Structure 1
Amino acid sequence: METLANLESFAKSAELRSFSEAARRLGLTPAAVSRNVATLERNLGVRLLQRSTRRITLTEAGERFLDSIGGSLDTLQSAIEETASGAAEPAGVLRVSLSPTLGQAYILPLLPDFLRRYPRVRPEWHFESRQVDLVHEGYDLAIGGGFELSPGIVARGLAPAHIVAVASPAYLQGVADIPGHPEALGQLRGIAMRSTATGRIRKWTMLGPEGEQAAVALNEDIVMNDPASVREATRLGLGVALLALPDVLTDLAEGRLVRLVPDWHADAGMISLYYASRRLLPGKTRVFVDFLIERFRRLGYAESFDATARRELRVRGSMRKQKR
């Protein structure tokens, strides 16, 4: 009967392609991890990993073995964690990656209530504008939009990720004709955003009230790679930008920004929770997922983040009054 330590050392080393990185995640020394894997191979009578000076790779037998134990090992690890911490009291470090703007404005304010309910959970949150590798980087979950789902990762939708065109009232005071169609946004000074993932300028196609489409030729007068910085530049009156509606809701409500072509929006998919697929999630992860889904529902964030809501159309009329 193989020990859990041997199986964990093999599975983590296979996932991370490194004894050193596996050791760091498991709280062991690289020598201990290597020894555990060697013991497993000796007991099975087959080589599971090929070692080299640079990295390790799975043999054909190793791939079959990893596939066969993957789900069972996850379930066993989760069961041990649940039992050790007490099923009624989840515990442990909750490592989360989340968008800075969305996270600080909407997720962080929910943390005090969550910690009152689950005081033994210790949040370790990373606010970053990138797609992380949940498994290889050791995250329990990520919150954001536009993630490409790799094998073994699931997504739970929270709210739509709609992109809208915005500018400051001060900037629009100097504009002779407020654009009524996305294609006319090219007549204004643009604040474009460069993707940190691809290095390319983000391009959007906007959707109209009847489902019609229009490409947005936003000028690249100013280019930044961070949504919060683009929003700040827009507040300063430097031009028009395309930003996620959750990032500018407060600015729209308080008049710092105005939504242009309010009948139109771009669809960036969903704001979602991403986590590794397991039949039994660790208690700390499961309760946080359930808590966040319930809070988004109770606070009506899905409706608030929907760019097609009728309340947003009032912006156009208010701007016309300002222009007069």
Structure 2
Amino acid sequence: METLSSLESFVRSAEAGSFAEAARRLGLTPAAVGKNVARLEASLGVRLFQRSTRRLTLTEAGERFLGEVRGGLSTIQLAVANLASAAGQPAGTLKVSMGVTFGRDYLVPMLDTFLQRYPAIVPDWHFDNAPVDLIAQGFDAAVSGATELSPGVVARKLAPAHRILVAAPAYLAQHPAPQAPADLAQHAGILLRSPQTGRIRPWSLRNRQHDEAPVDLQQRMTLSDPDAACRATEMGLGIALVSLPHALPYLEQGRLVRVLPAWYVDAGHISVYFSAHALLPAKTRAFIDSLVEHFNQQRLPERFSAL
């Protein structure tokens, strides 16, 4: 296991370009990572890194060694993780990334049943609307809307990622409700910035006949959080285009209503993302299976559909 720790410190340092960043990803101190790498170099009898005060670069031998051990290290780690289960049950820390409001509303409710079934798993859940690098940041899984797959990552679809137009009943009492997408240009818009780009994305509406139309609202305000947009919309400040999971609690309580209910934005799917490695840790497989079961039991695929 000491050699395994040294190998992991070497690989993560090579990927990060520094002992400090590798230490952050591994949950160690930079000194500990440096000692692990030095121990590995001493064992191999070869220098793997050229060190300077500013940079950490691989030697020619280090480059060759990295290419030979990187894939094997992942396989060994997964095998060890699966063997280290408690009484044959999935075990270990489960690091998952999810959106703040989405995770709180739809994933936290599954915790009680999940932990009763898998008491040896310790959830380490990160609530953040910004995208994460699943592999580089050491996450076992991430749950989010449509995301471009990075190398070594696969996705399992959970539900449609539809966006809808919403407004408060009070707003529609004071402003004529839009009858067609072109009418949106006469209304105040509560717009959302993309957490990926920081920009306002020009979404296109569609209907069952596959007609398309732009979302052409007046820019009354711009927010970066979908729940904040729902709350501002509830105050009667304008019309917002938000994902259906965020709007759903407001719609079910009558605090918001759909605008142009025949129209919606198809943003792909909400998915759970995880490593493409064939030997998936038992804790991760248990989480994915439980998540799919939870979504189906709560009828979330149907409830998240705008159709």
TM-score, scaled to structure 2: 0.90
Cα deviation, residue 284, structure 1: 1.9
Counterpart Cα distance in 2 of 1:199 and 1:302: 28
Specify the SS of the correspondent of 1:15: helix
State whether residues 131 and 195 of structure 2, in contact with CA within 8 Å, keep that contact through their aligned partners in structure 1. Answer: no
Describe how 1:172-321 pairs up with structure 2 within 5 A.
172-176=172-176, 178-308=177-307
Q: Which residue of 1 aligns with 2:103?
A: 103
State whether residues 159 and 300 of structure 2, in contact with CA within 8 Å, keep that contact through their aligned partners in structure 1. Answer: yes
Counterpart Cα distance in 1 of 2:151 and 2:87: 28
Counterpart of 1:142, as a letter, is: A
Specify the SS of the correspondent of 1:274: strand
Specify the SS of the correspondent of 2:134: coil
Cα deviation, residue 27, structure 1: 5.1
Counterpart Cα distance in 2 of 1:298 and 1:57: 51
Q: Kindly tell me the number of residue pairs found equivalent between the two proteins.
A: 306
Counterpart of 1:121, as a letter, is: I
| Greater displacement, 117-126 / 159-168 | 117-126
Describe how 1:16-35 pairs up with structure 2 within 5 A.
16-26=16-26, 28-35=28-35
Cα deviation, residue 41, structure 1: 4.3
| Greater displacement, 196-205 / 235-244 | 196-205
Q: Which residue of 2 aligns with 1:156?
A: 156
1:210 to 1:55, Cα distance in 2 relative to 1, 3 A: farther
Counterpart Cα distance in 2 of 1:120 and 1:179: 53
Counterpart of 2:12, as a letter, is: K
Counterpart Cα distance in 1 of 2:199 and 2:216: 15
CA RMSD of aligned residues (A): 2.2
Specify the SS of the correspondent of 1:69: helix
State whether residues 191 and 222 of structure 1, in contact with CA within 8 Å, keep that contact through their aligned partners in structure 2. Answer: yes
Cα deviation, residue 25, structure 1: 4.2
Counterpart of 2:173, as a letter, is: Q
Unaligned runs of 5+ in 1: 309-324
Counterpart Cα distance in 2 of 1:79 and 1:284: 12
Cα deviation, residue 215, structure 1: 1.0
Counterpart Cα distance in 1 of 2:184 and 2:27: 54
Counterpart Cα distance in 2 of 1:175 and 1:27: 55
Q: Does 1:85 align with 2:101?
A: no
Q: Which stretches of structure 1, 4 residues or longer, exceed 6 Å deviation after superposition?
A: none
Counterpart Cα distance in 1 of 2:201 and 2:217: 10
1:28 to 1:199, Cα distance in 2 relative to 1, 3 A: closer
Counterpart Cα distance in 1 of 2:240 and 2:33: 51
1:32 to 1:257, Cα distance in 2 relative to 1, 3 A: closer
Counterpart Cα distance in 1 of 2:64 and 2:217: 50
Specify the SS of the correspondent of 1:263: coil
| Greater displacement, 287-296 / 164-173 | 287-296
Counterpart of 1:193, as a letter, is: L
Cα deviation, residue 127, structure 1: 1.4
State whether residues 25 and 137 of structure 2, in contact with CA within 8 Å, keep that contact through their aligned partners in structure 1. Answer: no
| Greater displacement, 46-55 / 237-246 | 46-55
Counterpart of 2:178, as a letter, is: P
Q: Which residue of 2 aligns with 1:71?
A: 71
Cα deviation, residue 148, structure 1: 2.5
Counterpart of 1:236, as a letter, is: M
State whether residues 91 and 283 of structure 2, in contact with CA within 8 Å, keep that contact through their aligned partners in structure 1. Answer: yes
Describe how 1:107-122 pairs up with structure 2 within 5 A.
107-122=107-122
TM-score, scaled to structure 1: 0.86
State whether residues 74 and 280 of structure 1, in contact with CA within 8 Å, keep that contact through their aligned partners in structure 2. Answer: no
Cα deviation, residue 115, structure 1: 0.8
- Deviation string, structure 1 residues 128-174 (Cα, Å, up to 9, x no partner): 11101223333222111132322222222111110100101110011
Counterpart Cα distance in 2 of 1:241 and 1:19: 45
1:276 to 1:17, Cα distance in 2 relative to 1, 3 A: farther
State whether residues 141 and 275 of structure 1, in contact with CA within 8 Å, keep that contact through their aligned partners in structure 2. Answer: yes
Cα deviation, residue 66, structure 1: 3.0
Matched residues, percent identical? 53
State whether residues 144 and 272 of structure 1, in contact with CA within 8 Å, keep that contact through their aligned partners in structure 2. Answer: yes
State whether residues 101 and 247 of structure 1, in contact with CA within 8 Å, keep that contact through their aligned partners in structure 2. Answer: yes
Specify the SS of the correspondent of 1:220: strand
